[in-house]
Structure 1
Amino acid sequence: MATTEECRTALDKLSDNMAGASGDVRSAVALDRSLSCRITDLDVTFSGRLENGRITVLDTRPGPPAEKAQIRLSMTGDDLVAMVNGRLNFAKAWATGRVGLEASFRDLLRLRTLL
């Protein structure tokens, strides 16, 4: 089972990957939105912002997020680490319910290019 520190490192790596993206991926993540990532097996939530193609984690807390973010992810720590390291396809994980993604319809349309 992935640790909280490994999940935080994975989020930092994801942020670096998004910042270095180009084309459709870069435009999809060029949002300014609040973001939460709930790690279900650790019962911890990372909260922050998606800005200029980067994720900035502002808070890590036990349990669910304190406030409802505009983009909300939920998954196990192992799934987060596997996705960031390229061992788990996001689209398949989302389609099978391993990863939860909640956002406005408009944001989902923009983020669909990531799938």
Structure 2
Amino acid sequence: MATTQECRDALDRLSDNLAKADDGVRGATALDRSLSCHVTDLDTTFTGRLRNGRIEVSGRHEGPPREKAQIRLAMSGDDLVALVDGELNFAKAWASGRVRLEAGVRDLLRLRSLL
């Protein structure tokens, strides 16, 4: 089982990957939206913003998200690490329910290019 620190590190690597991505991916993530990532098996939520193609983690607390972020992710810690490491396909994980992504319709349409 992934640790809280491994999950935090995975979010940092994801942010770095988004910043280095090609124009198409950077364009899809060039939003300014609140973001939460609930790591279900650790019952920990990371909060922050998706801004200028980067994820800025600003906090962590125990339990589910306290506020409804504009973009909400939920998954196990192992799945988060596997996604960032390229070992788990996001679209397949989302379709099977291993990963939950909730956002407004416009944001989902912009983020679809990441799938």
**What's the TM-score once normalised by structure 2's chain length?**
0.99
Post-superposition offset of 1:66 = 1.6
**Unaligned 5+ residue runs, structure 2?**
none
Q: Deviations over 1:66-104 (max 9, x none)?
A: 210000000000000000000000010001000000000
Q: Distance in 1 between matches of 2:64 and 2:96?
A: 22
Counterpart of 1:100? 100
The CA deviation string for residues 32-69 of structure 1, in whole angstroms up to 9 with x for no partner, is 00000000000000000000000011110000112100
* Poorly superposed stretches of 4+, deviation over 6 Å: none
Deviation (angstroms), 1:24: 1.4
Map residues 1-115 of structure 1 onto 2, 5 A cutoff: 1-115=1-115
Q: CA RMSD in A?
A: 0.5
Alignment partners' CA distance in 2, 1:102 and 1:51: 17
Could you list the runs of 5+ residues in structure 1 that have no partner in the other structure?
none
Distance, in Å, in 1 between the alignment partners of 2:22 and 2:78 is 27
Distance in 2, matches of 1:21 and 1:12, equals 14
Instruction: Tell me how far apart the structure 2 counterparts of residues 52 and 30 of structure 1 sit (CA, whole Å).
Output: 5
Partner amino acid, structure 2, of 1:110: R
Aligned length: 115
Deviation for aligned residue 1:23: 2.2
Q: Distance in 2 between matches of 1:16 and 1:23?
A: 14
**% identical equivalent positions:** 72
